Each structure stands twice: as structure tokens, then as C-alpha cells.
Amino acid sequence: MNKQRRQFLIKEIISDKAIGSQDELAKELKKAGEIVNQATLSRDMQEMGISRINTMHGARYQFNLEGEEKRIRTLISIEIQNIHSNETMVVVRTLPGRAQGVAEMIDSLKLPGVLATLAGDNTIFIAPSSVKKVQSVELALRTFIAKEDS
């Protein structure tokens, strides 16, 4: 059992080629040395937030909204170093070189009360829609980060 590796391979495989079914995916995984049955893949898909969609060239898999959100949460919870605020804005510190990416993801979350973000190399300023909302913006961000993976 190596779930980590298996799920990394799943992500890779579906991003590389159009896979039409979970059985087919199982075969691809087997090529890469991971033997697993279809039931497990069904659960992986669920857990990773991957959906089957129909294209004109047949079915394939891709991350759905829930999967994207989960990936964002996991990612920024590592990239974010700490969160502070003063009377007028929220300040987020990130790992070096990640502020830009994290800020974009925060934007994409459309958290209530967020007016805009501005990112340098490892620092993000979050301007609230009103200075009265500073606290609730910080809380919203923290809540998002700590949300249980469903």
C-alpha cells in the first residue's frame, strides 16, 4: 500500500492522457507498478475530487471544483507561514517566492470581505472591503485553511 504514490500517479496519468474508465486507469497504474482494484479507484476519485466528463473524443477525467478546492487548501496551508492583521488589513507571510501564487488563490476563493490582495515575494496584503471587516476576513481565511477534508 502506498496511497501517496498511487494518487500522485493518478494525477499524473489523467493529466497525460485521456483515460476512459477506472479499469483502464487500473491498467495504467499497473504499468507503473501499482496494483489496485477498481473499488479503490472509485474511492480515490471521490477523495481527490476527480470527475469523469464526456468530450467529443470520449470520456476522460479531471479535477472538479471540490478537488480544486481541496488542492488549494492543502497547498496554501503549507505555503502560508503565518497570518496577522492590524486595524486596516490582513498580512500573510508565505514561503519564499510563493506570495504571488497564494494571493491569486486567495482571490479565487472570493472570501467575503476581501476587497483586493497585493503580493510581493513572501508577503501578501489583503485589503478588506471595509476596515471593520479586518477580523472577519482573517477568520474566514483561517477557517478555509483549517477546514476538514470531507
Partner DNA sequence: AATAATTATGTAACTTAATGCATAATTATT
Partner DNA sequence: AATAATTATGCATTAAGTTACATAATTATT
**Is there binding between residue 74 and its own copies (CB under 8 A)?**
yes
CA-based torsion, 77, 68, 5, 150: positive or negative:
positive
**Is there binding between residue 1 and its own copies (CB under 8 A)?**
no
Binder of residue 100, out of its own copies, DNA, none (CB less than 5 to 8 A by kind)? its own copies
Binder of residue 121, out of DNA, its own copies, none (CB less than 5 to 8 A by kind)? none
Q: Are 71 and 7 in contact (CB under 8 A)?
A: no
**Is there binding between residue 69 and its own copies (CB under 8 A)?**
no
Q: Which of 64, 93, 62 is nearest to 76 (CA)?
A: 93
Q: In whole angstroms, what is the distance from residue 38 CA to residue 41 CA?
A: 5
Considering only 18, 95, 118, 131, the residue that binds its own copies (CB under 8 A) is 95
Using CB atoms within 10 A of its CB, is residue 145 exposed (0-12), middle (13-18) or buried (19+)? middle
Q: Which residues bind its own copies (CB under 8 A)?
A: 2, 4-5, 8, 11-12, 15-16, 71, 74-75, 77-79, 81-84, 93, 95-98, 100-101, 104, 145-146, 148
